[in-house]
Amino acid sequence: MKDKRIYLDYAASTPVDPAVKKAMDPYFSETFANAGALHWQGQQASAAVFKSRDTIAKAIGAQYNEVIFTGSATEANNLVLRGVLRGFRVQGLGFSEKKQKIPIGYTLHPRIIVSSVEHESVLETCRDLAASLKEASLDPEGREKEGVEVIYIPVNRDGIIDLKKLKAVLNERTILVSIMYVNNEVGTIQPISKITKIISDFRNRKSQITNSKIQIKSNYQLPITNYPLFHTDAVQAIQYLDCNVDELGVDFMTLSAHKIYGPKGIGALYVKNQKFGGDLIAPIITGGGQEYSLRSGTENTPSIVGFAKAVEINEKLKNSEAKRVRTLREYLLKGLKKINPKIMLNGSMKERIPNNLNIYFPGHLAADLLIKLDLAGVAVSPGAACSARAMRSSYVLEAMGLPHQRCVGSLRITLGRQTKKGELERFVRILKQASI
């Protein structure tokens, strides 16, 4: 009998939990109506969406109307980055210079701060926004229509951001700071609460300074001291870590279903609209006004229900599963070191989620290792699945200051609910037989 394949790429995606699939099934063919419809069938679907929204909100300590469903975590990240910039522009905040009342968003290039190891959905969006700064053109009134300055915060060799650098680059033009909770390649946990305090202290100092050049020109009278806002991508965090938004102190948080045994094609963005009234973020997809007018489009009821069920199950299993996979990970690392004492762990072992290993195999290329292991029936990854097909050097490891050979010779190994000790033993034997 042929051995079953070994899946060790749970950071890329997880299988849909049977209970999640069961919860979704009725909404494909029975309660299938549009959740926006006023008839009975539509209201049944709407009730399911409401209940699901409330389930997810309670899991993160939020209000139900602070959870905005999107088509993916990538879309959620785009919504916060582009939406906060648009929201800043439409607020009508004024800048008085040479007796001219010109909107701040147009005369001063807003600043967005991110870490150098963010997910590509954040980094690529920032590059796109920054590119508009170079391409900005002046309208007849002399206002630059586009343009945002992006500052990238460096990380140390463990992948943890430089907090002193963050403090240094915060300024009056900063509208958003986006730092991921857990890195998707090396599993590093960022000090979100410390980052929150830095931002909060900066806001407080700013509110105490009277700047005669900055005037409020807003129907909502939103103080400019609301900025900078703070967003965290918690896609890799929620499975094992506490993601209570009040305790973290974030204004926005991104989540994804398919990383926690839910369906693909559904994500969510927490928006702290109880404090801000939703006025500091504008939609990037307009239409029928669904999702509190922040994300138009017919609600994906089956996936929303599945997302909520996945979150519900995850909350019950979080602590026990974290303990189980941590034990398995330690067992695997010992086995790997036994067959090859020269292997090296990338990133911090202390500040790391329990299912992640990112290992450098000296003398090997990640691309070659991936092929050998795949042919032997093992699924691992050289890094983020979104960029794995390009088979390029890991930008995360590069940002951590690791040598080139480590950046091109490392594999990400991530465990999950289906991972068993016997699979890891077989994985180690395969590596040994392949002289890896």
Instruction: Let me know if 126 is a catalytic residue.
Output: no
Q: How far apart are CA 343 and CA 248, in angstroms?
A: 35
Angle at 360 between CA 117 and CA 390, to 5 degrees: 55
**Active site residue: 126, 243, 386, 407, which one?**
386
Whether 66 and 278 have beta carbons less than 8 Å apart is answered as no
Buried b (16+ CB within 10 A) or exposed e, 165-183: bbeebbebbbbbbbbbbbb
Verify cis geometry, omega within 30 degrees of 0, for the bond prior to 228: yes
Question: In this structure, is the dihedral angle defined by the CA atoms of residues 98, 103, 106 and 110, taken in order, positive or negative?
Answer: positive
C-alpha torsion 383→389→393→394, nearest 10:
-20
Buried b (16+ CB within 10 A) or exposed e, 50-89: eebbbbbbbbbebeebbbbbbbbbbbbbbbbbbbbbbbbb
Which residue numbers are catalytic? 386
